[in-house]
Amino acid sequence: MSIFHYQNNTLFAEDVSIAQLASTQPTPFYCYSSRAFSQHYQQFKAAFASLPNTLCYAMKANSNQAILKLLAQQGAGADVVSLGELQRAIEAGFPAEKIVFSGVAKSAAEIKAALKLNIHCFNVESEPELRHISAIAQSMNKIAPVSLRINPDVDPATHAKISTGKSSDKFGIPLKNALPIYQLAADLPAIEVCGIDMHIGSQITKLSAYDEAIGLLVTLANTLKEQGIAIKHFNFGGGLGVAYKDSDSDQQTLLAQYAEIIKKHACALNCHYIFEPGRFIAANAGILVTQVRYVKPVEEKCFVIVDAAMNDLIRPTLYEAYHQIASVEQANEKSETQIVDVVGPVCETGDYLALNRKLAPVSEGDLLVLHSAGAYGAVQSSTYNSRPLISEVLVDGDRWHTIRQSPSIEQLINLDSIPNWL
């Protein structure tokens, strides 16, 4: 049975009715499935069971403490990109030795905190950062383990805003500069060269891009070995695509194809392997539940105005992202559909969740869900228009818990401080 499924024409998350949940939880809210998070993690883990590896969950996809604890208890590591994520990872129970620190602009405070914790590795993105880490580690009498993130200038054929492996992107060290910077790293004080890191983008379904990028970096690894620079691990990054539409490649098929590519190159590397899945684990483990406020037909189309907005789920307007929309109460298969725009209450034309979408007729008060909302949903939300962050709910079987409570408007206002001269 699907984790999000209809039972007696009503949508359920595991064994919890979304309609009943919405009767106790103000809309809009996010709803996550414990079973889905666990299944996706275990599926990824099983795909590489034959290789010595560590799966470091990319926390930027969904960093709620309950989700992190769920994954940490299953043995996952963590990929962090800020001091806040580092602290969240430690508090959720991720061992420091399973934490990798990525990002192009690590601050002195972030580097110091990571060194104190003895994390597994820094994924270094530039020569200035490498020198900065060396100086800080030396001042602390620490040895900083580093992996250089190499930009192979490969087109992952994904959205421009989530491409990270082309020469025009801000990420990583250009492949042509890799050898001298590795040699510099080997010579710098307080630096231990541990590995090679790559991450070419997100929501990648064109797997030939992975094949090409890994092949280039395998060649680099062999050259480094000839130069006496040992590579202990190879970090393949994350970015494997997931199914947002029925027509998209099945997640399990894509994972199997991806694993074949990795294993093809692994025999030439003979080291430890690190993966940083985020979206693959989180995206299809969550939904966004929203309620219809008004239905507004106009001459050109029909607007379905809901209580969720771009500040709650920015992906559609930021990335032109597609999320399947469905009614909580299943429509009759013979019901006619109409073309609608599903829009929110924020005062922006860009405030939409879906454009030109076929939807069975809905009425005020009806509940809708946006599927595949577990990744890059709540973590990218904001309080624009003074709209409080919405609640997040975690389901486990027939039980559920609010894992983040929506603050009141008063609490939101009280975050501000008025100077004494006003």
Letter string b/e over residues 285-305, b meaning 16 or more CB atoms within 10 A of that residue's CB = bbbbbbbbeebeeeeeebbbb
- How big, in percent rounded to 5, are the helix, strand and coil portions of the chain? 35, 25, 40
Q: Which residues are designated catalytic?
A: 347
Contact 210, 200 (CB under 8 A): yes
CA atoms within 13 A on the CB side of 354: 25
- Distance, CA of 52 to CA of 126 (rounded, Å): 28
Helix (H) or strand (E) holding 359: strand 352-359
Tokens found for residue 269: 């590397």
- Distance, CA of 248 to CA of 121 (rounded, Å): 35
Tokens found for residue 314: 């920015």
Letter string b/e over residues 263-280, b meaning 16 or more CB atoms within 10 A of that residue's CB = eebbeebebbbbbbbbbb
Q: Determine the residue type at 327.
A: S
